[in-house]
Amino acid sequence: MVLKQASNAYFQAQASTKIAPVKLIHMLYERLLIHLDLAAEGLLENDVKKRGESLSKAIAIITELNCSIRVEDQSEAARFLRGIYEAMLLALGTVPVVEDVEVIRLARRYVQRLKSIWEETAMQEHGFGAGERRPPRPSGDMVMQAAMEQLGNSVKSGDADLKVCLRA
C-alpha cells in the first residue's frame, strides 16, 4: 500500500512539472543563445575550457532541436529546419580548428531569428506570448513555413558560410 501511494505521489509530481513542448523548444533556443555567447567569449578570451564546454553544450542543444522534428515529417519546412540545424552543427564543429568567432556569431543570428519566429508563431498559437491569447492558427506547418520564408530571406541577403550549406 505504501509503495502504491509513493508511486502515485511520484507520478503526480512528475505530471505537474511537465513543460509544454512549445515552451520547451523556446527554452532550448534561449539556452542555446547563452551557450553561443559563452563560446564566443571563450574564443575571444583564449579560454579553451570555456569555449569547449559552451560549444559542446550548444551543439548538444542543436542536436536536440534537430531530433525534435518528427521523423515522418518530410515536408519542405521540416527539411529546411533539418538543413539549417545540420549546417550549424557542421559550422560549429569547425570552430576549435579555425578559431573564427564569426562562425559562432552567424549561428547565433540564425538561432535568434528562429527564436523570434517561434515566439511570433508557435508561442502565440499556444497562449505563451505576451498579452492576450490569440485565436489558434491553422497548423504547425505555418510555423515552419514562416521560418523558411524569413530565414530564406536572410540567407539570400548574405551569411555566406551557412548559405552554402543550406542550398544543398
Residue 156 lies in a domain: yes
pLDDT at 132: 39
Residue 15 is assigned to a structural domain of this protein: no
CATH number for 86: 1.20.120.340
pLDDT at 147: 60
- In a domain, residue 146? The reply is yes
Flag whether 3 is in a domain.
no
- Report the amino acid identity of residue 94: T
Contact indicator for 155, 163 with CB cutoff of 8 Å: yes
What separation in angstroms does the CA of 1 have from each of 6, 10, 140? 9, 14, 44
In a domain, 65, yes or no: yes
- Tell the burial category of 140 from Cβ atoms under 10 Å away from its Cβ (0-12, 13-18, 19+): middle
Q: How far, in Å, CA of 45 to CA of 56, rounded?
A: 17
pLDDT (0 to 100) of residue 164: 36
What type of residue sits at position 1?
A: M
Is 109 a domain residue? yes
Domain span including residue 58:
20-167
C-alpha distances out from residue 27 to 20, 90, 97, 150, 162, Å: 11, 23, 29, 21, 24
Asked, for residue 36, whether it belongs to a domain, the answer is: yes
Residues of the chain with pLDDT under 50: 130-139, 154-168
40 in a structural domain: yes
Number of domains the chain is built from = 1
Q: Please give the C-alpha separations between residue 78 and each of 72, 112, 122, 149, in angstroms, as whole numbers.
A: 10, 18, 15, 13
Give buried/exposed letters for 69-85 (b at 16+ CB in 10 A, else e): beeeeeeebbebbbbbb
